[in-house]
Structure 1
Amino acid sequence: MAIDSLITLTGEAWEDYGLVDSGNGRKLERYGRYHFIRPEPQAMWRPAQDNWQADGEFIGASDEDGGGRWHLKPYVPKDGWLLQWEDVCFLAQNTSFRHLAFFPDMAPQWAWMRERVTEDAEILNLFGYTGVGSLALAAKGGKVTHVDASKKSVASAKNNAELSGLTDKPIRWIVDDAVKFTAREVRRHRRYDGILMDPPKFGRGPAHEVWRLEENLSDLIDEAVKLLDQKSKFLVLTVYAVRMSALAIGELLSQATQHLGGCVEVGEMAIKEEARGLNLPTAIFARWKND
């Protein structure tokens, strides 16, 4: 199936999060009662306001690969503070990777998947991180397998499950390399009704396995699709490596799922700015659906 159009999936502000303003390579965001400034290369325009008031700012390093550190007011809780999205509670925290322990632009994807999750649906969340996506699906009745190579991330996800009152939900918490776990599930002849994949640009597994997005994504998609069948409902792939093309990952997913029927949507993810309503692009995505 050929990809002939791109769509923009725009996240709106909610009570505990908003993109307040952006411009000059930075963005001002609201995370509950705190405001933070972070670098944002996509914000090439001028901001709506000149004097931003914030509780902290991440100052990036000069090298292209990232780095930098937070400069926070002393009252910002180092152990995080509670936020909520719909029926899911979780901790936001200033991490060394410049983000806040979750990705707010994923909210439209969470909502889209929740519409397709039926009671007892089997869902696989690869690179599950702190578990907000897993909990959003479990709250709708899904049986979720949450996989991440980081023990710390999985521990945070379990803690978020407690904060959300979802510890009684059928969630498997797996500390493992996503590629190896997926291959084992294929050998076990497991199937899933839906898969969420949010792979990093670079990572290491618990046994020092090396993940490189450009080199490993194609093989992982081919293996993950083997866990789906014609009764499955979705596969969502999000990519934050801006050098890749939405059309490229769309064609990749389209080829891998063509035997299943359904269709593939591709495009950009964005967050709507509160100041002027413009859309700040954040990531690209491809998703297969079988409605």
Structure 2
Amino acid sequence: MKNKERRPLSKGRPDAGSSRPSRTAGPAKPAHRSEAPVRKEAPARKDAPARVQAKPQQQASQAAPVETRPLWPRSGDLPAERVPVILESSGAGDFHLIDTGRGLKLEQYGDYRIVRPEAQALWQPTLPDHVWEKASAVFTGDTDEDGMGRWRFPAEALGETWPLSLLGVDFLGRFTAFRHVGVFPEQIVHWEWMKARVEEAKAQGRTLKVLNLFGYTGVASLVAAAAGAEVTHVDASKKAIGWARENQAMSRLEKAPIRWICEDAMKFILREERRGNHYDIILTDPPKFGRGPNGEVWHLFDHLPLMLDVCRQLLSPNAVGLVLTAYSIRASFYSIHELMRETMRGAGGVVESGELVIREAGLDGKTRGRALSTSLFSRWVPA
């Protein structure tokens, strides 16, 4: 699975409010992703948005005190289950996956064709080399998901940003030093599900409250707000929050009810738990490793159980769903599936888990090709 550079969480007491590991620290839609300069092959800048993740050993040496609380005991029956579930996207709006192979992927983002590393593309490309060679931008350098690299522009130097649109929301694509461009298109399936739930509720006179943890550049938050939700967006990176506000202006949603919170996710949700605040939909997309704005450290395997436990406490009595996406972890989807079921024990409903995949769509965006696995997910929904 891929490793999104996202942010860390902190933990709180049993009665504490919660906040997930924010995509704190790091460059911009991973735990913190960073922005790379886009002139020729200049080295990428280190002023990346919060998804930039420190290496585990660095995090340990610089870690700030972590707020925590015990896990609450759960009783009752486990929720029903649907496994495995494969949620597939073939693209949407200005994005589609053109081709994959030889450890690379060729994607269309608006006017640009981009080549990026893709370790899971073990096969050979379908399209000939001359198609790949016409890419607008190629990510080179450090191919490790946690490392920084740079962009090469075969034909001409490109600007740092360019306009994109997905699900009716306009936003900025940006060449970052961590290979990401400001959106994780495999998440479209979750966003479409959320958008439909928000619109259904709106039609019945109910405004849903959405909490987006590790919100990165805010595309999901803007999709929810445009559909009629009240949104709380949390990310530990000031850079990512700034990018999200730019996207809000581009989408002409300046008056939409969105709270932009720059804070460690765990600290935030623990405080919300203490305050007794609730949300109808919670999206959480934590990094494998991350760091908060004050040095808080997030380790997925250490902190995920508490994060989900707090998120359960934040769900409203008429909650619509809790969605978890996990990247770059050496685990089966069953590990997060069973964790989600234990977390939601006694709450009824259904836990559906599996993988998110993107289907190749060819040069025309319509030619069905191979499926590329991108991440694990687990989603609880009421019965």
Alignment check: 8 A CA contact 2:186 2:357 kept:
yes
Between stretches 227-236 and 262-271, larger displacement belongs to 227-236
Structure 1 segments (4+ residues) deviating >6 Å: none
Greater length-normalized contact order (CA 8 Å, ≥ 6 residues apart): 2
Structure with the bigger percentage of strand: 1
Shift in Å, 1:5: 1.9
Identity of aligned residues (%): 46
2:175 — aligned with what?
94
**AA partner of residue 99 (structure 1):** H
2:210 — aligned with what?
123
Please state whether the residue corresponding to 1:99 is helix, strand or coil: coil
Matching residue within 213, 225, 229 for 2:312: 225
1:48 — aligned with what?
126
**CA 1:151–1:64 in 2, change beyond 3 Å: closer, same or farther?**
closer
Within the alignment, does 1:162 sit opposite 2:249 as a pair? yes
Within the alignment, does 1:284 sit opposite 2:372 as a pair? no
Shift in Å, 1:64: 7.5
2:239 — aligned with what?
152
Within the alignment, does 1:10 sit opposite 2:91 as a pair? no
Please state whether the residue corresponding to 2:83 is helix, strand or coil: coil
Q: Distance in 2 between matches of 1:22 and 1:62?
A: 16
Q: Distance in 1 between matches of 2:146 and 2:177?
A: 14
1:195 — aligned with what?
282
Q: Distance in 2 between matches of 1:244 and 1:72?
A: 36
Alignment check: 8 A CA contact 2:93 2:167 kept:
no
**AA partner of residue 236 (structure 1):** V
**AA partner of residue 12 (structure 1):** S
Q: Distance in 2 between matches of 1:266 and 1:60?
A: 34
Q: Distance in 2 between matches of 1:64 and 1:201?
A: 11
Alignment check: 8 A CA contact 1:39 1:60 kept:
no
Matching residue within 60, 66, 78 for 2:147: 66
Report how many aligned residue pairs link the two structures.
Answer: 290
Alignment check: 8 A CA contact 1:81 1:92 kept:
yes
Q: Distance in 1 between matches of 2:333 and 2:175?
A: 29
Matching residue within 102, 112, 117 for 1:39: 117
1:257 — aligned with what?
344
2:7 — aligned with what?
none
Between stretches 195-204 and 179-188, larger displacement belongs to 195-204
Alignment check: 8 A CA contact 2:106 2:116 kept:
yes
Identify unmatched segments of 5+ residues in structure 1: none
Q: Could you give the per-residue CA deviations for residues 99-156 of structure 1, whole angstroms, max 9, x where no partner exists?
A: 1111011111100111212332111000000000000001111000000000110111
> What's the TM-score once normalised by structure 1's chain length?
0.95
2:326 — aligned with what?
239
> What's the TM-score once normalised by structure 2's chain length?
0.73
Q: Which has the larger radius of gyration?
A: 2
Q: Distance in 1 between matches of 2:141 and 2:230?
A: 39
Please state whether the residue corresponding to 2:121 is helix, strand or coil: coil
Matching residue within 144, 157, 175 for 1:75: 157
2:229 — aligned with what?
142
